[in-house]
Amino acid sequence: MDNIITVSNLTKQFGSFTAVDHITFAVSRGEIFGFLGANGAGKTTAMRMLCGLSKPTSGSGSVAGYDLRTQGEQIKRHIGYMSQRFSLYEDLTVAENMELYGGIYGLSRREVSDRVDQLLTALQFADHRDDLVGSLPLGWKQKLAFMVATVHRPELVFLDEPTGGVDPITRRQFWDLIRAAAAQGTTIFVTTHYMDEAEYCHRISIMVDGQIRALDTPAVLRARYGADTMEQVFYRLAREAKRGD
């Protein structure tokens, strides 16, 4: 199978504290991969290593075909990233934000303007092209942030709690966008605390105390733990955590 992420025994230590403890997994191309875990379980640290932001203490892996340990800069070029904190510039317009990130990822002026038109049309948002981002409602900002993260057509997009603080209707719309992107072959690596969203993922992993405690499709996990919902599966596993926040 064609894996876009493969890591084996990935570990990150801060002094004597092991934030990520020998995790091994693979994500295949075009998959929506849910990366779950309670706060402090080590999700963010693991994700930072996968994005090329921090170097693993030990273990190895590759992301989008580049080595985690040595080719961080190449990885950055081929992934998209959207953080839990809203990360567009509020005093720039919708189009200016897209143009900026297009420019940062090395798109030509022509490519950028084509891409902006295309994304805004897909969002049915062309009328708001020249609106300041700061004047938009939060739900729209989050959808825009996702579009901006895919402006350079990355093969793989990391979403760090993308729907935090957003209303249920907008969350549903947001997931429509995610599924549309995945249908076009983009791999989605997403963290979330909403268990209904976990159901939308093709496969999910649950991290507890820096280790991956479970990894499979939602249906298989529910069956294995004799649970009706993912929420129950998550409780069962996360309750075993030794360390707190």
Partner 1 sequence: MNVFASFVRKECIHILRDPRTMLIVLLMPVVLMMLFGFAISTEIKNINVAAVASRYTTDVRRDLTALEHNPYVTFKGMIREGEVDAALRSGRCSAVVLFGRDGKRHIVLDASNSSLSASAAIYLRSILTADASASALPVTTYMRHNPQLKSAYNFVPGVMGLIFILICALMTCVSVVREKESGTMEVLLVSPVRPVYVVLAKMIPYLVLSLFNLATILLLSHYVLEMPVAGNLSVLLILCTLYIVLSLFLGLFVSTLAQSQMVALLICAMVMLVPMMMLSGMMFPVENLPPVLKQLTFIVPARWFNDAIRKVMVEGLGFAAIWKELSILFAMALALFVASIKKFKDRLE
In the structure encoding, which two tokens stand for residue 183, read together?
A: 């249908």
Q: Quick one: 119 or 237, whose CB is closer to partner 1?
A: 119
Query: Which residue type occupies 221?
Result: L
Q: Quick one: 105 or 125, whose CB is closer to partner 1?
A: 105
Min dist CB 80 to partner 1, Å, is 9
Q: Quick one: 30 or 103, whose CB is closer to partner 1?
A: 103
Cβ within 8 Å of residue 6, ≥6 positions away: 25, 26, 27, 61, 62
Min dist CB 74 to partner 1, Å, is 9
User: How many residues does the structure list for the chain?
Assistant: 245
Phi, psi of 138 (to 5 degrees): -55, -40
Whole-angstrom distance between the N-terminal and C-terminal Cα of the chain?
A: 36
113 C-beta neighbours (distance < 10 Å), count: 15
In the structure encoding, which two tokens stand for residue 36, read together?
A: 């779950």
Q: Quick one: 87 or 232, whose CB is closer to partner 1?
A: 87
Min dist CB 179 to partner 1, Å, is 23
Q: Is 18 helix (H, G, I), strand (E, B) or coil?
A: strand
Q: Quick one: 38 or 149, whose CB is closer to partner 1?
A: 149
Residues that bind partner 1 (CB under 8 A): 51-55, 73, 76-77, 79, 81-83, 85-92, 96, 99-109, 112, 132, 149, 158
Min dist CB 184 to partner 1, Å, is 22
Min dist CB 109 to partner 1, Å, is 5
Report the C-alpha gap between 54 and 43 in whole angstroms: 13
